[in-house]
Structure 1
Amino acid sequence: MRAEQTIRRGDLAIATGDCVATVTIDRANKHNALTPAFWHDLSKTLGELAAMDDIRAIVLTGAGDKAFSAGGDVGGFLELKDESSIRAFQTDAMHAFRDIERCPVPVIAAINGIAMGGGCELALACDMVIAADHATFAMPEARFGLVPGFGILRGPDVIGIQATKYLVMTGATIDAHRAQAIGLVQEIVPAADLIDRATALAQSIAALSPNAASVGKRMVNVAFGDDDVAWSVDELSRLQASPDRAEGIAAFLERRPARFAARAGASA
């Protein structure tokens, strides 16, 4: 990729210019839901942008004005029918979060609406978050008998232990102001100004030392490594292969309350 151009990779639109790359999740008609292929495409894109000497900051956003990302595409989940495909999906997703954190180029999330599930976790992975005033955040995986793997790993560092437990255990939705109060969001702007502000912030970072930004980011994010990926993939794969996950998706598609079985190991 070279500067001053826009290309596509799967559901991503990548525009580069003026030392900044803007990566857009481009499925506005699906609220920018994340397919299993998205995670590999994001990792590859980050690697390519990091290798470009003239890219010094990245803005990650969603198409349209309603959603940054509504989270994982339920249809994509239904395609994961065996343990091998589930583990491959979980590995790609966790590596993508890690790749955001390890990317030597600062990554700014511009949250243009709903950030749920994987969308909220992407915000947690980014180096800073600018939110439109109508943005909302949630990690509702418990509805599907799941947990937000990266959200649990990084959430305590970003928003604190109690706030992470609250979001994970309740699936509650919070607005941009509450997200700012717990440290997830750094700035809130009118929706019409979001991309301009995120781009201006990216350009201000790009004007400073790229080495300082890279080293500073690496030192702050040192806690999330390969060992975390390995055990989290084991736990998440086990959950995703469980009856709870199947019941949660069925309830969602049938628009009814989920009926989960007793906790594993609990007395009848």
Structure 2
Amino acid sequence: MTTTAAVDRHDGAAPPNLRCETDGPVAVITIDAPEKLNAMGRTFWPELREALAALEADGSTRAVVITGAGDRAFSAGGDITSFAALADVTAQRAFQQDCMRTFAAVEECPLPVIAAVNGYAMGGGCELALACDIVVAADTATFGMPETAVGLVPGFGVLRAPSVIGRHWTKLMMFAGERVDAATAQQIGLAQKVVPAAELMDVARALAVRVAAAAPLAVAAGKSLVNRGVDRGEFDHSTAALTTLHATADAAEGIAAFAEKRAPVFEGR
């Protein structure tokens, strides 16, 4: 039997960013803002942590699939227009720390987490795919880390992408905003499976069922051992760098240009 629940909202105004459905040992978490290409709102980050913690605690879930609502996007990334509300260094640092805690929660969750990438996986969406254990991509999927276009860098992506796709591909995607299609993503290790878009969720669920049938303690131990080289101290360096970038005139210009749908003019300050 399938149960469906929206993740509780975290303030009086913002709707929940996620839906969570469970069917036997498999849970599907859907980023649920298709009208915004599933952009990650400010409350997305704690909601995803809470959803994973609840699934870990329920005693019956053994595998998790994360996907995006609709057929256009897994997630277009963070809601860039909301960055302008990060008015001071304290708010900017707290936001970066919140994001990092969520990526860490995906990596550290003892449950295997599969990303079912159904369209654009840009910025934070690409980073979320990097944090997951396995990536299944629709043949229409597109990956990118274009944060330099708004004067920032992908704080988690710069830490994880080099070990997944190599330093040079990471630099190409970061410096030039290079977009990677599904076939290329599979070639460079960003996706492990590419399937027709219409079959994506069936394939992802079937894979989750296979994983869920394995011994859960062995899967959890295996995940922990594979990830044992992960250095959480890197998060502090990345948070510090992003906090500094948020305070630059270039970042303010990039965010304003994005909101105004115009090309930014960067001055290197």
Task: Give unmatched runs, 5+ long, in structure 2.
Answer: 8-15
Which of 115, 118, 121 is the aligned partner of 1:112? 118
- Give the TM-score of the pair, scaled to structure 2: 0.94
Q: Secondary structure at 1:91's aligned position in 2?
A: helix
Alpha-carbon contact 1:106-1:127 (below 8 Å) kept: yes
Residues 243-262 of structure 1 mapped to structure 2, 5 A cutoff: 243-262=249-268
Aligned residue in 2 for 1:7 = 5
Task: Give unmatched runs, 5+ long, in structure 1.
Answer: none
The amino acid across from 1:24 in the alignment is T
Cα RMSD for the two superposed structures:
1.2
What is the deviation of 1:161? 1.2
Aligned residue in 1 for 2:217 = 211
The amino acid across from 2:17 in the alignment is D
Alpha-carbon contact 1:144-1:248 (below 8 Å) kept: yes
Aligned residue in 2 for 1:102 = 108
Alpha-carbon contact 2:81-2:259 (below 8 Å) kept: no
Q: Secondary structure at 2:22's aligned position in 1?
A: strand
What is the deviation of 1:52? 2.0
| Equivalent residue pairs, number | 261
Q: Does 1:78 align with 2:84?
A: yes
What is the deviation of 1:234? 1.2
Which of 167, 176, 184 is the aligned partner of 1:170? 176
Residues 132-171 of structure 1 mapped to structure 2, 5 A cutoff: 132-171=138-177
Kindly provide the CA deviation profile for residues 35-59 of structure 1, in whole angstroms up to 9, marking residues without a partner as x: 1210111111111111222100000
Q: Runs of 4+ in structure 1 displaced over 4 angstroms?
A: none
Q: Secondary structure at 1:21's aligned position in 2?
A: strand
CA distance in structure 1 between the partners assigned to 2:143 and 2:190 by the alignment: 9
Alpha-carbon contact 1:27-1:63 (below 8 Å) kept: yes
Aligned residue in 2 for 1:126 = 132
Kindly provide the CA deviation profile for residues 208-261 of structure 1, in whole angstroms up to 9, marking residues without a partner as x: 111111111111112334312222211111111211111111222233322112
Quick one: percent identity of the two aligned structures? Answer: 51
Alpha-carbon contact 2:81-2:255 (below 8 Å) kept: no
What is the deviation of 1:162? 1.1
The amino acid across from 1:88 in the alignment is A
Alpha-carbon contact 2:81-2:258 (below 8 Å) kept: no
The amino acid across from 2:36 in the alignment is K
Q: Secondary structure at 1:7's aligned position in 2?
A: strand
